Structure 1
Amino acid sequence: MKRLAIGLDGYDSNFSGCTTHFTIFLLKTLKFYEKNLKLLTDPLLVRLNPNIPFKTRGNAAVSLLIEGELSEADIEKTIEELSAIYSFENKGSAYILDLDGNRRLEETVKLYLRSLTDLVPQKVAEEVAEEVGGVSIGGKSLVGALAAIGYALSGLPSTFELLAYRAPEAEFIRRIDEKRVSEVLLSYRTLFNNVNRKNKVVAVPRGPDPVLIGIRGIDKGELEDAFRKILPYIEAPSSWCIFRTNQHTDPHAVHKKIGELRVYVSGLIEGYISRDPLVKKGGHVILNISDESGEIEAIFYRETYPMNVVASKLKKGDRIRILGGALDAREREGLIFEAEKLWILSAPEIKVLKNPRCPRCNARMESAGKGKGYRCPKCGYRTKEALEKELFLLKRDLPKNPISPLEGRIRHLVKPPELEGIELPRVELERGEIFCRF
């Protein structure tokens, strides 16, 4: 029996297809060739650096860990044949790796970690592929295929997503009773980021994507139970599978110095606001944040509400932390930092000096003119002597940390507020039930 890892990426296009959908076809075919083929863990759906502009449509790769009699050559032939059938562009990439006796597996984990926060050149992926000694198919999406294997071997936190797929004969418009589906999904405490504030189901593609619906959660049993309850309210799926995933675990939350940022780099920056916020027409908010290494403009788009509103209430001198990514500023030289999540580390109370109160009626006095003392607008009392103003400390109306966009606006990797403080399940080899039906 051989234990093999298979990494897949790039089996989608701007018009159709999906790497997870291709994975279902591959699993079905491999199980046909070998009835006793075993999955060593759930299929893994892996998101990478969201700021890379030339990524595939969903920027998602997939990995499988299997045990069986099939050889690398058998699987290579199967993937090549399926790829030719599945995608008219035939541009996907795969990597097959023997897990037994391989002492360089950690190189795939290192590549995965780098691909979360940086731009990984194709040449680097090719060097890793040669070093670990597997079988490479295709090539344009080799980074994602190798990184997906790295995540499978990383032991890092995970969540789950159940993906259901459309039948080939399905109509263009998806038939989903969003009201009933929303009610079901909101009744489970372990499900998250599935329904927005308008009771619209979040993970329902609108175009030619083969995915019918996606449901996110941290408990596989409850995911399956919720899915079976919504079946009467959606069109009949052709297949479905629960993927273990790095989605919504903050895997790219790596601290970076502002002066070390480069274009496409993701991570956490921390520093002081160097000037009061600039609120632009439409609701975008710009903060200048600096640390000992440099300064950068951080932008909170209106789509990140309520995060942009909170950013507009911050002041010069406040200390904050931002999770996001660096991109070209376009309108000028330099970088901007697009915010995905916000922490307010310190926001001092605002000092306000107010005129003294009237010693006769206790009303707040007003200035009688420069050097002329104060007068009371209520009782007319006047004084020429210099009275001290009263110092007040105004508390800031700021929410608890962290601050994120609303459901449906949170990016794939960002951990939502409801998962903060929860110990998430970790990627591991397991012999438990694998939830896939095809």
Structure 2
Amino acid sequence: MYVAIDDTDSQDKMCTTYLIYEIISRGEYDIIGSPELVRLNPNIGYKTRGNGALNINLGKGSGNTSIIGKANGKFIKSYEKVAGEPDKQELMDFISSIVEDFYVKDDDKTNPGIVISNDRFHSGLYGKALQDDISIEFIENYLSGRAIYRKIKTGHGIIGSSASLAWPGKSYTYELLDYRYPNYGDITYGEKIDISSIPESFYSTFNNIDIKNRYPAIFPKPKTPVIFGVRGVDKNDLITIYDRIKERHNIDDQGYIIYKTNQGTDDHIMPEPDYLSSMGSYSLTGVISGEPYTIEGGHSFVNFKYKNEEIKLAAFEPTKEFRKVLMSVIPGDIVSAYGSYAKGTIKLEKLRVIKKARLYRKEPPVCPECHVKTRSKGQMDYRCPVCKKRYKNPEITEITRELEEKFYEVPVIARRHLSMPLKLMPYFSDIPQTSGVS
């Protein structure tokens, strides 16, 4: 039986993923498959932090088992097959009691929703949740006859919960989240940097640390039950990394859960659409049509022609050194821009330079007789300072540009959960996957 939950946290408290840990720890159900952390539309304005919903398949399991976590010193294992389903209403009562215990009650923007279903939903709902703003009314109509659900307060969380059950999971990564409720307390910045460096030595991981900007990306910004989260494509590596962190650092945790997730997959990117929506994220191929410029605050922009539409590409201040890439393009460059679209602007996550325009400069010619560079007298008039001979045509020299024809990405400090790091592109070249991303 699939259980999905969303919208139990706030900007600075809790984390909905922790409820999965509590469900597993308190419940007497078997887990079938992997718990899932599904990120949805990053452009939704009312999201708490990462706009992620959770689901887990509970019941009586059979077949082979695999480790998906640890609680209070004991491994948590999941089964590969379902042998029996629990009673829906009993399961709803159990899940509701946990949500009631832990959701953030003093925040009007926290509106939990629980969905329980025998089956997963059509992937079209997932696609819609990545690109659009879905109403509660739409979801309630969708769930009618398909599943049971519970709304707490406005129950806005049933939207994300339902969408998580529609994720097809064709391309996926994993994240190991380590917990201590209500929060771990203070870890020094230096220790965070040291811990974040441990997974960096495993090629199967991604988005651990931004070395240049000294940003320990595996640690959440607000204090939540999450101590750290390590992302990767190999579950066994994640367990090894967890053990190594525990060996080298005194982390007094409750345990961890490994989630199957759509993070780092670019699932939110729709390629080359005919119509651009302000809620959408796209990859657009077109031509740079103006000179780049920077405004107050350090935000950089350039005009870009996509099909018959003139839009702007933006690299905002948090993208740090990536702004230099945008400032290096010139009119005529053919590029593919990846990012979210709003108000005529693409907020860049990646930029692929497909073909560079050639850049030239005019210089006074060299006198062929004296081998001395002539001097400009204006109006296409060049004169040799030695023999005084005059020349009309300048020497045309091509300028070597540092910009290369390749992909560029924003640094880890500015990277979105869904955005695919360049290092993962080879893994996702052959889809569907059978294990991790292979």
TM-score grouping bracket, smaller chain normalisation: 0.7 to 0.9
Task: Assess, with a 3 A threshold, how the Cα gap between structure 1 residues 424 and 357 changes in structure 2: closer, same or farther.
Answer: closer
2:103 to 77, 87, 93: 87
Residue number in structure 1 paired with 2:264: 248
Shift of 1:346: 2.0
More strand by share: 2
Residue number in structure 1 paired with 2:39: 47
Residue number in structure 2 paired with 1:401: 406
The code of the aligned residue for 1:383 comes to: K
Q: Relative to structure 2, which stretch is displaced further, 277-286 or 246-255?
A: 277-286
The code of the aligned residue for 1:73 comes to: Q
Q: 1:270 aligns to what SS in structure 2?
A: strand
Q: Relative to structure 2, which stretch is displaced further, 232-241 or 393-402?
A: 393-402
The code of the aligned residue for 1:421 comes to: P
Contact kept, 8 Å, 1:167 with 1:236, in 2: the verdict is no
Task: Assess, with a 3 A threshold, how the Cα gap between structure 1 residues 382 and 257 changes in structure 2: closer, same or farther.
Answer: farther
Q: 1:147 aligns to what SS in structure 2?
A: helix
Q: 1:303 aligns to what SS in structure 2?
A: helix
Shift of 1:273: 1.9
Residue number in structure 2 paired with 1:435: none
Per-residue CA deviations over 1:288-313 (Å, capped at 9, x if unaligned) read 11223422222211221332111111
Residue number in structure 1 paired with 2:217: 202
Task: Assess, with a 3 A threshold, how the Cα gap between structure 1 residues 253 and 179 changes in structure 2: closer, same or farther.
Answer: closer
Contact kept, 8 Å, 1:180 with 1:233, in 2: the verdict is no
What pairs with 1:22-421 in structure 2 (closer than 5 Å)? Answer: 22-31=19-28, 34=29, 37-39=30-32, 41-68=33-60, 69-89=85-105, 91-99=111-119, 105-107=120-122, 109-130=123-144, 133-138=146-151, 139-151=155-167, 154-168=168-182, 172-174=185-187, 177-198=191-212, 199-231=214-246, 232-257=248-273, 260-328=275-343, 335-370=344-379, 373-377=381-385, 380-384=386-390, 386-421=391-426
Residue number in structure 2 paired with 1:332: none
Q: 1:408 aligns to what SS in structure 2?
A: helix
Q: 1:418 aligns to what SS in structure 2?
A: helix
Per-residue CA deviations over 1:14-51 (Å, capped at 9, x if unaligned) read 342111001111122223xx4xx232x21111111111
Contact kept, 8 Å, 2:196 with 2:217, in 1: the verdict is no
Contact kept, 8 Å, 2:175 with 2:230, in 1: the verdict is yes
Task: Assess, with a 3 A threshold, how the Cα gap between structure 1 residues 121 and 93 changes in structure 2: closer, same or farther.
Answer: same
Residue number in structure 2 paired with 1:331: none
Task: Assess, with a 3 A threshold, how the Cα gap between structure 1 residues 390 and 423 changes in structure 2: closer, same or farther.
Answer: same
Q: 1:403 aligns to what SS in structure 2?
A: strand
Shift of 1:127: 2.5
Contact kept, 8 Å, 1:374 with 1:382, in 2: the verdict is no
Task: Assess, with a 3 A threshold, how the Cα gap between structure 1 residues 374 and 288 changes in structure 2: closer, same or farther.
Answer: closer
| Segments of 4+ moved more than 4 angstroms | 424-430
Residue number in structure 2 paired with 1:102: none
Task: Assess, with a 3 A threshold, how the Cα gap between structure 1 residues 370 and 296 changes in structure 2: closer, same or farther.
Answer: closer
Q: 1:314 aligns to what SS in structure 2?
A: coil
Shift of 1:234: 4.3
Unaligned runs of 5+ in 2: 61-84
Contact kept, 8 Å, 1:6 with 1:65, in 2: the verdict is yes
Shift of 1:63: 1.3
Contact kept, 8 Å, 1:155 with 1:427, in 2: the verdict is no
The code of the aligned residue for 1:98 comes to: N
For 1:237 and 1:11, the matched residues in 2 are separated by 22
Shift of 1:277: 1.1
Matched residue count = 402
Q: 1:144 aligns to what SS in structure 2?
A: helix
For 1:315 and 1:126, the matched residues in 2 are separated by 49
Task: Assess, with a 3 A threshold, how the Cα gap between structure 1 residues 309 and 28 changes in structure 2: closer, same or farther.
Answer: same
RMSD: 2.5
Task: Assess, with a 3 A threshold, how the Cα gap between structure 1 residues 165 and 38 changes in structure 2: closer, same or farther.
Answer: closer
For 2:17 and 2:226, the matched residues in 1 are separated by 9
For 2:354 and 2:290, the matched residues in 1 are separated by 17
Task: Assess, with a 3 A threshold, how the Cα gap between structure 1 residues 288 and 185 changes in structure 2: closer, same or farther.
Answer: same
> Structure 1-normalised TM-score?
0.85
Unaligned runs of 5+ in 1: 100-104, 329-334, 433-438
For 2:375 and 2:289, the matched residues in 1 are separated by 33
